[in-house]
Amino acid sequence: MDIFEAITAGKIYDVKASLISEPHNINDLLMFSCEIGDTDIINMLIKDFKADINFVNDLGYTPLIWACTCGKAKSVSTLIDAGADINQPSPDGLTPLLLAVNLNRIAITQILLDAGVKVTTYDANGKTALDIAKEKHFDTIVDLLEIEPAEYLLPENILKSLTGYILDLYDYI
């Protein structure tokens, strides 16, 4: 079994053994693991093998941007917990938040907001995440973006957040 098959199968010990026995590009493996969504392997690559959480690949994507693209909310949370830059844009100027909103990733949008992402960043067309959500009629995301940070803890806003997570549950699969 090669290392990519081991990552896909979630076989952390096989991944670790392969990394110890032969050289691999740790950062490329981190990107692949973010796509798969295996947080145990992501954590192992970061903690044990010092993968760079803000690494930029040849396409200009960071692991966080790639996890947002792939819709992997657990990968997003894991990267943020490890200290990933939540505002680092891709070469086309999309931040993780702008990307999550563009793709209607409700749970990921909520995770980024909870982490304190900058909401006033503009895309190449001069639009904020809120502008994009309104334009695309992503009403749940509009509701999330219109809440002031101090208001997140109000019971009705917690309910909105939970509803967003439920609607976006496929992100966790």
The per-residue pLDDT for 152 is 46
CA distance readout (Å), 39 to 14, 27, 31, 85, 148: 15, 15, 12, 18, 30
The residue ranges of every structural domain in the chain are: 85-172
Cα distance between residue 38 and residue 43, in whole Å? 9
pLDDT band at 147 (very low <50, low <70, confident <90, very high): confident
Cα distance between residue 159 and residue 10, in whole Å? 33
Cα distance between residue 74 and residue 34, in whole Å? 9
Residue range 85-172 in CATH 1.10.3720.10: no
* Res 117 pLDDT > 80: yes
Average pLDDT over residues 55-59: 93
**Which burial class, exposed, middle or buried, applies to 50 when counting CB atoms under 10 A from its CB (0-12, 13-18, 19+)?**
exposed
Average pLDDT over residues 19-24: 90
* Res 145 pLDDT > 60: yes
Find, among 119, 31, 109, the residue nearest to 77 by Cα: 109
Tokens linked to 39: 């947080």
The per-residue pLDDT for 156 is 53
> Are 62 and 88 contacting, i.e. CB atoms less than 8 angstroms apart?
yes
